[in-house]
Copies of this chain bind each other. A is one copy, B any other.
Amino acid sequence: MSHEKYAQVIQALHECMEACNHCYSACLQESDLEQMIECVRLDRECADICSNFEQALTLDTQFVNEYAQLCASVCRACGDECAKHDHDHCQQCAEACRKCANECEKLIEYA
């Protein structure tokens, strides 16, 4: 069962998607919005790929390695950007992105 085999990464993808979308909405309401543009852009991209990869994993995709490489890259970039900002939502998102990037990278190693 793919959804059991991949339970840990699916959970990380789900939490990362939620953290990115929360950070996205919160960034758009910040007074220093001009500083948050890259964060907004990456939050959206990261939420999308996490959501897509989650579906692919629950479908037992043959393309785990390629998905994991894409998703790890986006999560890593989003986590690095979020980590630059002191807002709680950015710090929480940075943590979720890094955890998710780590899970994706484990899939690359063992694919």
Contact = CB atoms under 8 A, between A and B. Distances in A.
A70 B10 CA distance: 19
Interface string A36-65: 010011001101110110111011111100
Interface in A69-92: 69-70, 73-74, 77
Interface residues of A, number: 41
Nearest to A21: B58
A109 interface: no
A58 B77 CA distance: 19
Given A34-B33, A37-B33, A41-B28, A51 B48 contact: no
Contacts of A18: 3, 10, 58
Nearest to A77: B62
Interface of A: 1-3, 10, 14, 17-18, 21-22, 24-25, 28-29, 33-34, 37, 40-41, 44-45, 47-49, 51-52, 54-56, 58-63, 66-67, 69-70, 73-74, 77
